[in-house]
């Protein structure tokens, strides 16, 4: 099979292009796409755990740990030990992190609209269904 017909090649290129575009749009707020994912998971909640955040974002717990470190240094989140269960760390948005919610939501909506502008509503729905199906398959496991 020719490389440019390989599903991995196509998905990787598409993801890279969207990631780069989103990264550029988020630079004004000093937030990366992965950090946006954390902010998004925390919005509307009082807290979440690093393990649950990693699961929600399909990341390794070691990866989320580094992301949370950088976000805490930027003042976007705090990590607090649960007083009732000292083994649990709670990740909470700071006021600074919460202030970004509306601004970043606008950017995400604009990026989604731009990326999908050449597709009809039905095609967008199908594309998302196809991507969810690929993402949920364990391929021979």
Round to whole Å and give the CA distance between 141 and 56: 21
Residue ranges of domains in the chain: 23-136
Res 36: pLDDT: 95
Res 140: pLDDT: 65
What pLDDT digit, counting tens, does each position of 15-33 carry? 999 999 999 999 999 999 9
Q: Is the pLDDT of residue 125 over 90?
A: yes
- What mean pLDDT value characterizes the chain? 93
Q: Are 79 and 89 in contact (CB under 8 A)?
A: yes
pTM as predicted: 0.86
Residue of 46, 29, 48 whose CA lies nearest to 108: 29
CATH numeric code, 23-136? 1.10.10.10
SS3 string of 22-44? HHHHHHHHCCCHHHHHHHHHHCC
Q: Is the pLDDT of residue 5 over 70?
A: yes
What confidence tier does 87 reach under pLDDT thresholds 50, 70, 90?
A: confident
Q: Is the pLDDT of residue 44 over 90?
A: no
């Amino acid at each position: 099979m020719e490389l440019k017909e390989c599903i991995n090649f196509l998905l990787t290129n598409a993801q890279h292009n969207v990631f780069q575009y989103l990264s550029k749009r988020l630079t004004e707020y000093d937030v990366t796409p992965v950090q946006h994912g954390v902010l998004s998971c925390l919005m509307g909640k009082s807290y979440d755990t690093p393990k649950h955040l990693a699961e929600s974002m399909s990341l390794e717990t070691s990866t989320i740990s580094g992301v949370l470190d950088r976000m805490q240094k930027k003042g976007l989140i705090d990590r607090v030990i649960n007083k009732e269960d000292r083994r649990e760390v709670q990740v909470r948005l700071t006021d600074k992190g919460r202030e970004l919610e509306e601004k970043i939501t606008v950017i995400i909506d604009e990026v989604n609209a731009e990326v999908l502008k050449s597709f009809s509503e039905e095609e967008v729905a199908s594309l998302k269904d196809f991507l969810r199906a690929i993402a949920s398959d364990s391929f021979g496991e």
